[in-house]
Structure 1
Amino acid sequence: MEKLRPQRLGHLVLAVRDIHASVKFYTEIMGLQVSDWISDQMVFLRAGTDHHDLALSQIPKDSPDINDLPRYTRPGMEHFSYLVEDRAEMDRTAEVLQAHGVEIVRGIGKHGPGENLFLVFKDPDGNNVEVYCEMTQITPESNYRPKVWERNIDSFDQYRFKHFVVPPPQAVIDAKTNKKS
């Protein structure tokens, strides 16, 4: 059977208890730069030219500190990612995953912040793994200015699920229709 063809480790998304304390730590102590925010619920940080190599996601303030995969209401990793070459490789990746019976969680989509294409799937332990491509590059010459995206479908998937190979997550559908699950 065919295998995936990752080029390199990409970014990591962490769920955090206090996003503002975490941003202060990662910018003032680690030296990362803010690329963008989604409301006050998610922030994208970079050390190099990729739009983000670390993203932080605010967990609900009332979340218990338990191991609760896959709801991600405790601090820790939400997903890590690998870069693939292009959209054609992303499509091939979805086919390979399906042929191997791997659970696909979300995608193929296009995020707002970073403009990258994404496909997220589960490893054998239930960890979210993402492959992505076409991420915005930020150089000193680009004069990039961070912005705050609304927390809506466009920040999650600019394609609006048109290219998803699985049904979109219920939480995203509920947010789109302003319903609570």
Structure 2
Amino acid sequence: MSSLQTDTPLSLHHLHVTSDKPEALAAFYEDLFELARMNSHGDAIVLAAGERAVVIGDGKPGELAAAAYTARDHAALALLRARLDDLAEPPPSTASLLFHDDAFTVRDPQGRRLILGVARVPRSADRMAARVQHTVFQTTELEKVLDFYVNRIGFAVSDEVVDEDGALMTCFLRSDDEHHSLAFFRGSNNAWDHHCYETRSWNDIRDWGDRFARARRSIFFGPGRHGPGNNLFFMVTDPDGNRIELSAELVQVDAGGLPGVWPHEEYTLNSWGRGWIRT
């Protein structure tokens, strides 16, 4: 079976978030994440920097309209497009500011959108390192969703979390050599859970913690270390309540590596202390 990691690696490039107060949300990301405003595109605000970007559109707060992944080049994207051609849809118009014209969209069985393309501007170092790296969702149909992302799109399973009866609760998926760029957990709703920025070191985690503290954005989970991925982390929220994770030391996984299996307990979520177990 074709795998993204081996054949057409993808990395998370930007997110399209909706808000009923898009200007206020844009100001938060401009200020704390040092993003520059590009030309607004219709009713959307496009913000970008060296390693991170976000599109903020008018709509219901707390929802992710699309997650956008970049391929390494146009040839790789063409191979992926050929394999997914029956699923391909035109991308939203805002994608043209960040991706080349060969970008396309696919939808999963529950309607989530992935924009797949090639970034117009290569990533470059930011003053404060924090590369947009992964996003996570809650789903009511975990097995159905995972079948689509693994067997149809080509993500690979890095780690699984199971309950005491052996039922799958969470699955971490990779699209390149990093442990995960996407994850899903079983829940009672279909909702966006959080997105994450990968830094370079523990000192970067410290500096980002100080930055949020000065802005009076308190940490609500962490600092700590996750079991799956072994990454250092903490989490805060933006003005709409969207959860933001800052991470460091996320492990690399070889192609073909067997998935790890973790128990559904606090230690798995935070080996340093209290875990935040969703329901």
TM-score band, normalised by shorter chain: 0.7 to 0.9
- Residue of structure 2 equivalent to 1:34: 157
- Residue of structure 2 equivalent to 1:109: 224
Q: Does 1:129 align with 2:252?
A: no
1:58-116 deviation digits (Å, cap 9, x = unpaired): 113xxxxxxxxxxxxx2121001111111011012111111111132201110000101
Specify the SS of the correspondent of 1:103: coil
Aligned length: 150
- Residue of structure 1 equivalent to 2:141: 18
5+ residue gaps, structure 2, are 1-30, 34-127, 163-167
5+ residue gaps, structure 1, are 61-73, 162-167, 176-181
* TM-score normalised by L of structure 2: 0.50
- Residue of structure 2 equivalent to 1:70: none
Specify the SS of the correspondent of 1:25: helix
1:147 is aligned, of 241, 247, 260, to 260
1:59 is aligned, of 172, 178, 187, to 187
Specify the SS of the correspondent of 1:160: coil
1:30-56 deviation digits (Å, cap 9, x = unpaired): 110011111111000011011000000
Specify the SS of the correspondent of 1:97: helix
Provide the identity percentage.
26
Instruction: State whether residues 130 and 246 of structure 2, in contact with CA within 8 Å, keep that contact through their aligned partners in structure 1.
Output: no
The amino acid that maps onto 2:187 is I
Specify the SS of the correspondent of 2:145: helix
Specify the SS of the correspondent of 2:220: strand
Following TM superposition, by how much is the alpha carbon of 1:139 offset from its aligned partner in structure 2, in angstroms? 2.3
Distance 1:10 1:30 in 2: 18
- Residue of structure 1 equivalent to 2:131: 8
